[in-house]
Amino acid sequence: MASHKPVRTIDARSLRALAHPLRVRIMESLRRDGPATSTTLAGEFGESTGTVSWHLRQLAEHRFIEEDVERGTKRERWWRAVEDRQVLHTAQLSKEDPSARVAVDAYVQELIQLYFQRASAYAAQEWPAEWESAGTIANWDDLRLTPTRLRELNDELMAVIDKYYPAEGEAAAPGSLPVSVQLQSFARHEGRS
């Protein structure tokens, strides 16, 4: 049942193209909600269609999105996220190209803001009891791991999540809803700072 999406490692050039707050939000919208036009996205983000169109072209140039030609017309272009799993190795990227650190920071900060907004929106909404009791927002601050063990933990968690992706061609189960899984695992400094 593992995800069959190809894996793409994001390089410094592509990251610089992605590391813009509006582009990150466009990407996340296309991934979560499916294909859209520049007009639809402009309305969603309170931006002009021209601005959104320019950012869409930048994302397409770096192969993060592609035109959805099956939906498009002469007057209307639809865009969709490329079906791949994107991996960003921040330490390796910063080592290979120290100037990429600014783009890494901008991209990661925007993602953290989006993830926070999603969790806050979930907490503010009312859900039927069966959905409310199935979800979780949890935190563990008492693990003590080496970098190797932290990588092992993350690899195991990713393998578990992969098991829940539908097999290629498999339909979603009746009654299912889209689910956001947010995983955050990182070292923290000890004591108060």
Tens-digit pLDDT profile for residues 11-56: 888 999 999 999 999 999 999 999 999 999 999 999 999 999 999 9
Expressed as residue numbers, the domain containing 97 is: 7-126
Residue 159 lies in a domain: no
pLDDT in tens, 126-168: 999 999 999 998 888 889 999 999 999 999 999 999 899 888 8
- Residue 190 inside a domain? The answer is no
137, part of any domain: no
Q: Is residue 179 part of a domain?
A: no
Residue type, 45: F
Q: For residue 1, what pLDDT band results from cuts at 50, 70 and 90? A: very low
Residue 163 in any domain: the answer is no
Nearest-angstrom CA–CA distance, 98 and 30: 30
**Domain-located, residue 188:** no
Q: Give the CATH number, domain containing residue 45.
A: 1.10.10.10
- Does the pTM surpass 0.85? The reply is no
Tally of domains within the chain: 1
Strands 78-81 and 85-87, bridge-based pairing: unpaired
How many angstroms separate the Cα of 135 from the Cα of each of 18, 67, 131? Answer: 31, 34, 6
Evaluate whether residue 49 is within a structural domain: yes
